[in-house]
Structure 1
Amino acid sequence: MYKTHVLDNGLTIIGEEIQHVKSISLGVWINAGSSIENKKVSGVSHFIEHMLFKGTKNRTSKDIANQIDNLGGQINAFTSKECTCYYVKLLDSHIDIGLDILSDMILNPLFDKNDIDKERLVILEELKMYEDSPEDLAYDLLTENVYAGDGLGMNIIGTTKSLYDINQEEILNYFKDYYLPNNSVISISGNFNFEEMVNKIEEKFKLWEKKEVEIEIKKAEFKNCFVTKNKDTEQVNLAMSLETISSENIEEVYALAIVNTVFGGSISSRLFQKIREEESLVYSIYSSQSLYKKCGELGIFASMSNENLEDVYNLIIEEIKVLRENYLTDKEIKETKEQLKGSYILGLESTSSRMMSIGKAMLLNNRVKTTDDILKSIDEVDKKTINRVIDKTFNLEKLGICIVGKDVEEIKF
Structure 2
Amino acid sequence: MYNLFRLNNGLRVVVENIEQFNSVSVGLWVENGSRNENEFNNGISHFIEHMLFKGTKKRTSKEIAEAIEDIGGQINAFTGKEATCYYVKVLDSYLELGLDVISDMLFNSNFNEEEIEKEKGVVIEEINMSEDSPEDVLMDLHSIATWGQESISRPILGYEHTVRGFNRNMLIDYLQSYYIPENCVISICGKVDMKTIKEVVERYFGAWDSKNKSITKYNSPEIKKTNFFRKKDIEQLHVTLGMPGLEVGHDDIYTLILLSNILGGGASSILFQKIREELGICYSIYLFISSHINVGTVNVYTGLNPQYIKVALETINHELKRFSTDRISPEKLMKAKEQLKGSYILGLESTSSRMFSNGKSVLFKDKINTPNDVLSKIDSIDYNKVDAVMDMTFRKGIYNSAFVGKDETLLKDIYKDTLVEFKLDKTKI
Q: Same fold (TM over 0.5)?
A: yes
Whole-angstrom CA distance in 1 between matches of 2:196 and 2:217: 35
Moved more, 388-397 or 269-278: 388-397
Moved more, 305-314 or 133-142: 305-314
Q: Work out whether residues 21 and 190 of structure 1, in 8 Å CA contact, stay in contact via their aligned partners in 2.
A: yes
Aligned to 1:233: 234
Q: Work out whether residues 242 and 395 of structure 1, in 8 Å CA contact, stay in contact via their aligned partners in 2.
A: no
Aligned to 1:77: 77
The Cα offsets for residues 304-361 of structure 1, whole Å up to 9 and x where unpaired, read as: 1222222222211111111122143322211111011001111111110000000000
Structure 2 letter corresponding to 1:105? M
Q: Work out whether residues 222 and 398 of structure 1, in 8 Å CA contact, stay in contact via their aligned partners in 2.
A: no
Aligned to 2:250: 249
Report the alpha carbon displacement of residue 397 of structure 1 after superposing the two structures with TM: 5.8
Q: Work out whether residues 320 and 394 of structure 1, in 8 Å CA contact, stay in contact via their aligned partners in 2.
A: yes
The answer to whether residue 65 in structure 2 is matched with residue 65 in structure 1 is yes
Aligned to 1:224: 225
The answer to whether residue 384 in structure 2 is matched with residue 384 in structure 1 is yes
Aligned to 2:411: 411
Q: Work out whether residues 230 and 409 of structure 1, in 8 Å CA contact, stay in contact via their aligned partners in 2.
A: no
Matched position secondary structure for 2:185: strand
Aligned to 1:393: 393
Whole-angstrom CA distance in 2 between matches of 1:285 and 1:213: 41
Whole-angstrom CA distance in 1 between matches of 2:273 and 2:399: 23
Whole-angstrom CA distance in 2 between matches of 1:332 and 1:47: 46
The Cα offsets for residues 260-290 of structure 1, whole Å up to 9 and x where unpaired, read as: 1111122221111111122221111101111
Report the alpha carbon displacement of residue 140 of structure 1 after superposing the two structures with TM: 0.8
Report the alpha carbon displacement of residue 398 of structure 1 after superposing the two structures with TM: 5.2
Matched position secondary structure for 1:194: coil
Structure 2 letter corresponding to 1:360? K
Structure 2 letter corresponding to 1:215? T
Q: Work out whether residues 56 and 104 of structure 1, in 8 Å CA contact, stay in contact via their aligned partners in 2.
A: yes
The Cα offsets for residues 212-237 of structure 1, whole Å up to 9 and x where unpaired, read as: 53323110111111111121223221
Q: Residues 324-339 of structure 1 correspond to what in structure 2 (within 5 A)?
A: 324-339=324-339
Whole-angstrom CA distance in 2 between matches of 1:329 and 1:156: 41
Structure 1 letter corresponding to 2:165? D
Tell me the number of residue pairs that the alignment of Structure 1 and Structure 2 aligns: 412
The Cα offsets for residues 370-402 of structure 1, whole Å up to 9 and x where unpaired, read as: 111110111101212211211221245651111
Matched position secondary structure for 2:257: helix
Q: Work out whether residues 74 and 88 of structure 2, in 8 Å CA contact, stay in contact via their aligned partners in 1.
A: yes
Q: Work out whether residues 228 and 409 of structure 1, in 8 Å CA contact, stay in contact via their aligned partners in 2.
A: no
Q: Work out whether residues 32 and 82 of structure 1, in 8 Å CA contact, stay in contact via their aligned partners in 2.
A: yes
Whole-angstrom CA distance in 2 between matches of 1:332 and 1:169: 57
The two structures, once aligned, show a CA RMSD in angstroms of 1.5
Matched position secondary structure for 2:40: helix
Whole-angstrom CA distance in 2 between matches of 1:224 and 1:368: 35
The Cα offsets for residues 79-98 of structure 1, whole Å up to 9 and x where unpaired, read as: 11111100001111222222
Aligned to 2:353: 353
Structure 2 letter corresponding to 1:21? F
Aligned to 2:418: none
Ranges of 4+ aligned residues in structure 1 off by more than 6 Å:
none
Structure 1 letter corresponding to 2:240? A
Whole-angstrom CA distance in 2 between matches of 1:407 and 1:13: 51
Whole-angstrom CA distance in 1 between matches of 2:330 and 2:154: 40
Q: Work out whether residues 74 and 88 of structure 1, in 8 Å CA contact, stay in contact via their aligned partners in 2.
A: yes
Aligned to 2:94: 94
Distance 1:380 1:258, change over 3 A: same
Identity in percent: 40
Structure 2 letter corresponding to 1:190? G
Distance 1:284 1:266, change over 3 A: same
The answer to whether residue 135 in structure 2 is matched with residue 145 in structure 1 is no
Structure 2: 5+ residue runs without aligned partners? 415-429
Structure 1 letter corresponding to 2:54? K
Whole-angstrom CA distance in 1 between matches of 2:259 and 2:277: 20
Whole-angstrom CA distance in 1 between matches of 2:304 and 2:397: 25
Whole-angstrom CA distance in 1 between matches of 2:348 and 2:100: 26
Aligned to 1:49: 49
Matched position secondary structure for 1:219: coil
Aligned to 1:309: 309
Distance 1:56 1:24, change over 3 A: same
Q: Work out whether residues 229 and 409 of structure 1, in 8 Å CA contact, stay in contact via their aligned partners in 2.
A: no
Aligned to 2:186: 186
Distance 1:309 1:85, change over 3 A: same
Aligned to 1:269: 269
Distance 1:409 1:43, change over 3 A: farther
Aligned to 1:340: 340
